[in-house]
Structure formats: C-alpha cells, structure tokens
Chain A
C-alpha cells in the first residue's frame, strides 16, 4: 500500500503513512448544510474541508489509505494543482498532529474514584402521574416515602467525607417530587452549606421539579440560595397533557406553565426547562419553538427511556428522530442569526474548553463519583438503577457494603467497551449510559444502540452549530478558528 507522499519532495522526510490506519474509528467526515466537517477523534481537532479536500479524504478512506488512488480521483475531478494543494495541506495537518493521529486510550483505575455528586431522592412520592415516568410515578417500584432529615444529613456527611481532596461537590434534589419534602430540602441545604464550609468544600445544589408546588416563597428561596432548577414541561399543551398528568387525570400544562414562567423570570442562578419527547411527538422541534415562544432560552428535550414501549424511542423510529434533529439544528441556527441564542442542553459543546481526556474516558461516573440515595438511605450507582437489587451498594448509615457493584460499574468505562473503542464519538460521549445499556441489552458492556445513534447525531449537530458560530463571530475570515 503506497504511503501518502508528495511530488517534488524528498520521500523519506515527507512521507505520511496512513496505510492501514483505522479511519472509521479515528476520523469522522460528515456534511451538514453544505459544510464538510472532518473530526480527528484522538486529538479533538476539527477541520472544515472544501470539495477537493472532501473528495480526497473520502477516496483515502474508501481505498484504505491508498494515496495514489485518492490523488488520482482528486486530479481527475479538480485538476493537478488543486490535488497537489490538498495533499500538501493534509500533510501539514498531519505534521501539526491534528489529523490521522494515533489512538490514545489510557488505562485508568477508577475503583478508588472518590464520590463527588449525589442524586438525593428526598421523595419517593409524586403529585403527578406522568405516563412515561422511568421512576414509575415516583417510587421507582420500591417503597413509597419521604427522606428524613437524619438520613439526608448522613448522605451529605457520606459525600463530604468520601470526596477526599475534591472541592466542588454537587447534590441534586430529585424524586419523585422533591417539593413534597420541602422542609427537609431547606434543612439539608443549610446543613450542607455549614458542613461544606467546615471541610473546605463548595457544595452546588440542583432541584428537579414538576413545578406543581412552586409558590413565591419557594421560588425566592431557590434564587436566594443559588440553587439551580430543572423545570419539567414537554412543550405544546396537547403534547404535555398527553403524558404529564395530574393525579385527577387532567393535563398539567395550564397549572404549571405560569409557575415555571414566574420561576424563570426571577433569574435563578441556572435553569433548564426540561421536556421529554416520546413516540407521540417526534416533531419535537415544534415543542422547542413553543417553549421559546413561552419565553424560555435554556432548554432540554430528552428522549423517553424506561419500561414503557408505547413511549420509549425504539430503533424503528430512529431515522425519524435523526431527521428531526436536523430540523432542530436549523431552527436553533435561525434563532442565533436573529440574535436570540438558545441554550439547548444536548447541543452544548464547548469545542475548545471541554473536559480533559481522563474525564471523557470516565463518562458519567455512575457507581464511582456519582451515586443515588433513596429516602431510606440506600445507595445505588445512579437514579436509574434504584430498585434494581443487584445494584444495591449499601446504605448511608453503614457505607458501601457491596464493593463489587462499584467495581462492576467503574471497570465498565470507555476503554473497556469494544464498541465504544471503535466509535468516532467516544470522546464526546464517554461510553454511554450504563442504565440504558443494562435495560436495553441486559448487560452493562454493550451500549444501547438507539441511544448511540441519537447521541452521534446530536454531536454532529452540535459541532456544526459551534463551527457556524465561530465563523459568524470571525466574519468568515479564513483561518479565523479557535486554535
């Protein structure tokens, strides 16, 4: 197989050998709205290609790195001068270590990874009956109940003492509906702040709510305490009210929308209006537009997951979902061009300041740095494993009593999964959701096919939008990228 070499140059020093290179795993070439985008997976570098360069790289991939064939095709279509220029520029990128870079998948020992974040299920009760709820209407299929202040304090002590030298710790009040246990939430915020200060820790709190019990007093408290809020609303009234039901079976839209608007108007430290899309609204761009029209700019629309086949996004609707992500991308770009930047959670991708390689390899950290606590103090790897007895790790009173669960989760990171090692999106994903894998395939080691398809598409859309923003800010100046 000939190496990529250049006319008029001395061979030995100027050869870029990409024969045998695993293109499928280590570069990704895709086109969005006429932009040809090339991702060099191992370096994180991203390039924009014109037509001759796209043709050359495509031919290189199709011919397993045979540069002679790639060059011939490029010359045939675009002439000798363009083909030579493309070869020179590819070689320059290779020399700069931004193209065709070698695989780097360090082996990590994550079993000693300290805890840094808790999902605190302060209520296994809910005042709504959402049809697609993975928490099975609030109790996760376990005993209904509220967390006592004593158990909550033990959980925070467990977090602070277990976090070793990590300063930034996170606690999400979750459920069920956490506002059903409001007094305990307030007590735990005060206790966490006090104990955190003593230990030199910075505790950040988040609260996820259906907004049904949000009143002015609670809103003021959340703002004053700097608590981030996640507010559940699916979008259009008819979409929301199909799934998000009050206990009396009525839709919740008219009750919760004004409260969510009041909460957002108070300018909390951070907020997301978070919706779920399911088989019933595969045209979810319409829901995004509706939420924007309601005055919200921080938005998250997530695919339904869980045991309910009539709602969860299955393989047969994936092509439709991917098509909708294209539509969503165009909508977000149109808003940006009109001067309205919408912060869409799953298209957040800071290309220059993303996490380090070790962090990307670790993924979500479930079972290690991230744990979920039930109202009774039981410890699970994450909120989605609650109620699955084989994943019970211990209790905040006794600590971790089954270290094998932690081993099982922390050993199951990106580098250990065959499919993930070969995936071009691996460093934007981190190895996927353990729970999605487990509930889809019955094992942790094989990622969920539908989740992977959606995630790869979201990464493509996010990269495209970031590139367009960079070009827009640079006034389309050649070479105006982030270096």
Chain B
C-alpha cells in the first residue's frame, strides 16, 4: 500500500559496449 517496488534487486546476480566523449556505465 505504501511502498511499491518498481525494480527488484538487480545487482544481486566484458562483452557489453565500452556518444559523449566527455561524460563517460549506468546507460549501458
């Protein structure tokens, strides 16, 4: 009722990609 979980514990688990060139991981 008071707390809605939108995303579960995703962190409890080198081929991904290494636009900006000035503000280089969250958007991978």
Contacts and interface: CB of A to CB of B under 8 A. Distances in A.
Contacts of A366: 24
A455 B23 CA distance: 8
Contacts, number: 173
Interface in A155-192: 166-168, 170, 174
A430 B25 contact: yes
A45 B24 contact: no
A45 B3 contact: no
Q: Which DSSP category, helix, strand, loop or mixed, fits chain B's interface?
A: loop
A222 B12 CA distance: 40
A276 B1 CA distance: 43
A369 B18 contact: yes
Interface string A336-366: 0000000001111111101111011011111
Interface size class of B (residues with CB under 8 A): 20 to 34
Contacts of B17: 168, 170, 204
Q: Which DSSP category, helix, strand, loop or mixed, fits chain A's interface?
A: mixed
A37 to B, nearest CB: 8
A167 B9 contact: no
Interface stretch (A58-66, A93-101, A140-148): A93-101
Interface in B1-18: 1-18
Given A47-B3, A355-B28, A479-B4, A97 B20 contact: no
A332 interface: no
Contacts of B4: 47-49, 478-479, 481
Contacts of B14: 113-114, 116, 166, 359, 369
Contact of B21 (A208, A346, A467, A482): A208
A402 interface: no
A120 interface: no
A383 B3 contact: no
Contacts of A369: 14, 18
Contacts of A90: 3
Interface residues of A, number: 86
Given A89-B1, A363-B25, A357 B11 contact: yes
A246 interface: no
Given A86-B2, A117-B18, A168-B15, A433 B8 contact: no
A429 B18 contact: no
A167 B25 contact: no
22 contacts: A44-B7, A45-B10, A47-B4, A47-B5, A49-B4, A52-B2, A82-B2, A230-B19, A272-B19, A276-B22, A302-B20, A302-B21, A354-B26, A359-B28, A360-B26, A364-B24, A459-B26, A462-B27, A479-B5, A481-B4, A482-B8, A483-B5
Interface of B: 1-28
Interface of A: 38, 40, 42-50, 52-53, 82, 85-86, 89-90, 93, 96-98, 101, 104, 113-114, 116-117, 134, 166-168, 170, 174, 204, 208, 230, 272, 274, 276, 300, 302-305, 345-352, 354-357, 359-360, 362-366, 369-370, 382-384, 427-430, 433, 451, 454-455, 459, 462, 467, 470, 478-479, 481-483
Q: Which 4 A-B pairs give the minimum distances between C-beta atoms?
A: A117-B18, A428-B26, A43-B9, A430-B25
